Amino acid sequence: MKKTTIYLKEEELGQLKKKAFLTNKSIAEIIRMGIHLVTQPSSEKEEKALKTLEDIRRQFNDVSESQIKNLVDSAKKAVRREKKSRR
């Protein structure tokens, strides 16, 4: 597990504290549950896209995160150039 910091409005933190108290869970556990819910695929199309990303990631296990970021950035630029050329 990794530690991270998030910024919440006072009312959001208050609601989290209430939910944690009522469910006898920690605030961190409530947040993790929420993240789990919102990161689940919401459609078949999204599920297929996530599976494709996982497959691609497996193919590039020996590639560093920075190399992947560079590849993604290059792909985004190519898509933008293609969109501009269609106009």
Q: In the prediction, which pLDDT does 18 show?
A: 97
Which stretches of the chain are DSSP H helices? 10-23, 27-38, 44-59, 65-86
Amino acid at 4: T
- As a whole number of angstroms, the distance between CA 38 and CA 50 comes to 14
Q: In the prediction, which pLDDT does 26 show?
A: 97
Amino acid at 85: S
Q: In the prediction, which pLDDT does 6 show?
A: 95
**pLDDT per residue rounded down to tens, the chain (87 residues):** 999 999 999 999 999 999 999 999 999 999 999 999 999 988 999 999 888 988 888 887 787 888 888 888 998 998 888 888 877
Eight-class DSSP state of 40: S
Q: In the prediction, which pLDDT does 17 show?
A: 97
Q: pTM for the whole thing?
A: 0.57
